[in-house]
Each structure stands twice: as structure tokens, then as C-alpha cells.
Amino acid sequence: MIYIIKVTTNKEDRALELISSKIKKHQLQVFSLARPHGLRGYVFLEAENRESAEEAAYNLPYVKGIIGKTVEYSEIKNMIEPVLEEINIEKGDIVEIIGEPFKKEKAKVVRIDKGKGEAVVTLLAAVVPIPVTVKLDNIKVIRRDKEDGQSGSDEEGSENIKKDDNENNEQPKINKDYDEPMGGLIPDDY
């Protein structure tokens, strides 16, 4: 039987540690604990019976209680099992970081490690390019470098513009696909 335990939001990991230590200490009939990525405020507990599940979660900090309904594994399978997605990020792509601590920063992909699920990027807003390693699920592609022959000269020019404008903390957006002049150096999101 799989039980849903309501816990304090953003304290799921700590609640799992407390429940796990109580299970080991009292040798309860609990088979597994799970905290699905992206599900906030809940953890799953697989136990032999409701009494074992209640005892594992009883009177612990960050644990609010057990939801009355049990669930089947087939209902939560998509949250528990990782989905292998085709990684569509390439070296040279311009990406936006969607996870902390560099949220909403734009960066250029330097290297990809598909085995670890990580990418090394350099922040475009930084004066000095510092490599930062981020998880692939924390970045999204906003511009792909399609032209193989033009990428070297265009990138050098864009880097010079960015370094000059860093003094004012304003960054122009450079659109390589647009043939006519942009008309100014004020960013679109200004």
C-alpha cells in the first residue's frame, strides 16, 4: 500500500530524513520512501499496513499527516520513474537558466556531459567568462547557432559590444537572423 504524507512545503528532504530515521529506529514495516521531483508538499511512503505508515510519520517536525486515500503504483509511476528525454542542447547554444541561483540569466553552452545530465555554460552578463556547471533540466534553449561558417565572426563582434555596454549594466540583444539594423542598443525587456 502506498500512502501520501503531507509535509511542509520546501522541507520534503528534511521530512524524509526524519521519517527514515524513525523507521530504522523502530524497525517498522515500511518498504520505501519517495520524494518525486517537482511535487512540493508531499512524499510517498510504501508500507505493509496503515498502522506502520502512521507510526512512521507520527509526531515528527515538518510532517502534517497522512492523506486518507491510498494510491496504486500505476497512478504515481510517471512521477517516480525518470523519463529519458532526448537532450536537445548543443555546444554553442544560447540558453536561459531557469533554476537558482542564476535564474533568468542568459548563458552560452561550452560543454555538455549527457552522462551526468550537466552542461558547462558561461554567463553572457559576466565581464570575465567564468564556467558554471548546471543541470540540463535547469536550462532552456532560447537561440540556436545554426550557421556554421558565420558563428566565429559574429560572436567576436557580439562579445565586444557586450563588454563595452557592461559599464552601464545594459545588454543589447543581438539577433543574428535579422538582416536589417536593430535601430538601437536598448534591450527589448528594458
Query: In total, how many domains does the chain have?
Result: 2
On whether both 71 and 105 belong to a single domain, the answer is no
Domain range for 113: 84-145+158-174
Same domain, 57 and 101: no
- Domain final position from 80, 98, 130: 80
What pLDDT is attached to residue 154?
43
Which DSSP string corresponds to 17-85? HHHHHHHHHHT-SEEEEE--TT--SEEEEEESSHHHHHHHHTT-TTEEEEEEEEE-HHHHHHHHSPP-P
**What's CA 129's distance to the chain center, in Å?**
22
CA 57 to chain centre: 28
Predicted confidence pLDDT, tens digits, the chain (190 residues): 899 999 999 999 999 999 999 999 999 999 999 988 778 899 999 999 999 999 999 999 999 999 888 899 888 888 877 665 566 777 888 888 887 787 888 888 898 887 777 888 888 888 888 888 888 877 888 877 654 444 444 444 444 444 444 455 555 565 555 555 555 566 666 5
Last residue in a domain, options 59, 80, 101:
80
DSSP tag of 157 = H
182 part of a folded domain = no
CATH code of 97's domain: 2.30.30.30
Residues 141 and 104 in one domain: yes
Query: 22 and 53: one domain?
Result: yes
In terms of domains, do 76 and 89 share one?
Answer: no
